[in-house]
Amino acid sequence: MHSLTQEIQGFSKSCLKKQCTRVTTVTGRKLLERRSDGGEGEEQVEELEEGDGCGFVEDKSLDLQVGVVRPFLLLASQDAAHDIDTLQRHKVSHVLNVAYGVDNLFPDQLVYKTLQILDLPDTDIASYLGECSSFIDDARTQDGVVLVHCNAGVSRSSSIVIGYLMLKEGLKFDDAFSQVKLARPSIRPNPGFYQQLQSYKP
């Protein structure tokens, strides 16, 4: 029987997976970085397209995490809103889309409301709260479940949900914020939204 020491000694670096990273630069240039020999050997960079600029690695992983703020009120990113399995698992019947330029994929199966809100500190987020809260309440009276989403489920949609709790449940900002953050830890309303909600008087 092999001892662990023999196994470690007999392990060859060539067994390690060769790494390959696809990088898109800010100007749209696409590069493929290949690193062989367990990360210690030669690094080859292969240009996929023309262009110039500094690189960043694109994050292709989907964010399907759904924050359950209330049994009828969910908060998520556009990834979850575009994933029919996630929507069905959470029994979503209504979708409140507050992103800019994000399509609604299942109009035959779900009730949608779309408000194209820009994620900018000087956007008047408070002016949307009444309309959004009415849509959420309408869904609730029909025993529906509403998914509120923007692009990342971090700033716009979280601000709308915090505002809903303040407007409809009479919560103070700090309570509403902490309840929403508990449901979806990644939330971070932009500084302008944060200040508007702090001083919001329903």
105 and 49, same structural domain? no
pLDDT at residue 117 greater than cutoff 90: yes
Query: What CATH number does residue 97 fall under?
Result: 3.90.190.10
Which is more confident, 186 or 38?
Answer: 186
Does a structural domain hold residue 62?
no
Structure tokens at 193: 């939204």
Q: What distance in Å separates the CA atoms of residue 174 and residue 181, rounded to the nearest whole number? A: 10
pLDDT 10s digits, 54-112: 445 555 678 899 999 999 999 999 999 999 999 999 999 999 999 999 999 999 999 99
171 and 90, same structural domain? yes
Does a structural domain hold residue 5?
no
Does a structural domain hold residue 179?
yes
Q: What is the pLDDT of residue 61?
A: 79
Kindly give, in sequence order, each residue whose CB lies less than 8 Å from that of residue 152, ignoring residues fewer than 6 positions away: 63, 77, 78, 186
C-alpha to C-alpha distances, 37 to 6, 23, 41, 47, 91, nearest whole angstrom: 21, 20, 5, 21, 48
Quick check: is 20 catalytic? Answer: no
95 and 53, same structural domain? no
Q: What distance in Å separates the CA atoms of residue 31 and residue 200, rounded to the nearest whole number? A: 47
pLDDT at residue 180 greater than cutoff 80: yes
Q: What distance in Å separates the CA atoms of residue 79 and residue 100, rounded to the nearest whole number? A: 14
pLDDT 10s digits, 17-65: 556 666 666 666 666 666 654 444 445 555 554 444 444 555 567 889 9
99 and 53, same structural domain? no
100 and 48, same structural domain? no
Q: What distance in Å separates the CA atoms of residue 139 and residue 130, rounded to the nearest whole number? A: 14
Contact between residue 97 and residue 113 where contact means Cβ atoms under 8 Å apart = yes
pLDDT at residue 170 greater than cutoff 70: yes
* Residues linked to residue 46 through DSSP beta bridges, in sequence order: 32
* Residues linked to residue 76 through DSSP beta bridges, in sequence order: 149
169 and 89, same structural domain? yes
pLDDT at residue 2 greater than cutoff 80: no
Find the domain containing 193 and state its range.
Answer: 67-198
179 and 84, same structural domain? yes
101 and 187, same structural domain? yes
Last residue of a domain, one of 24, 39, 57: 57
Q: What is the pLDDT of residue 26?
A: 61
180 and 98, same structural domain? yes
Number of domains the chain is built from: 2
140 and 169, same structural domain? yes
25 and 77, same structural domain? no
User: Which residue matches tokens 């956007």?
Assistant: 123
Q: Active site residue: 15, 54, 132, 150, which one?
A: 150
Q: What is the pLDDT of residue 177?
A: 98
pLDDT 10s digits, 119-169: 999 999 999 999 999 999 999 999 999 999 999 999 999 999 999 999 999
Does a structural domain hold residue 1?
no
Does a structural domain hold residue 164?
yes
Does a structural domain hold residue 154?
yes
Which amino acid is it at 195? Answer: Q
C-alpha to C-alpha distances, 58 to 22, 26, 77, 108, nearest whole angstrom: 8, 10, 17, 32
Burial zone of 185 (CB within 10 Å; 0-12 exposed, 13-18 middle, 19+ buried): exposed
Does a structural domain hold residue 176?
yes
133 and 47, same structural domain? no
Contact between residue 144 and residue 93 where contact means Cβ atoms under 8 Å apart = yes
Question: What are the backbone angles phi and psi of residue 79, rounded to the nearest 5°?
Answer: -60, -45
Question: What are the backbone angles phi and psi of residue 108, rounded to the nearest 5°?
Answer: -80, -20
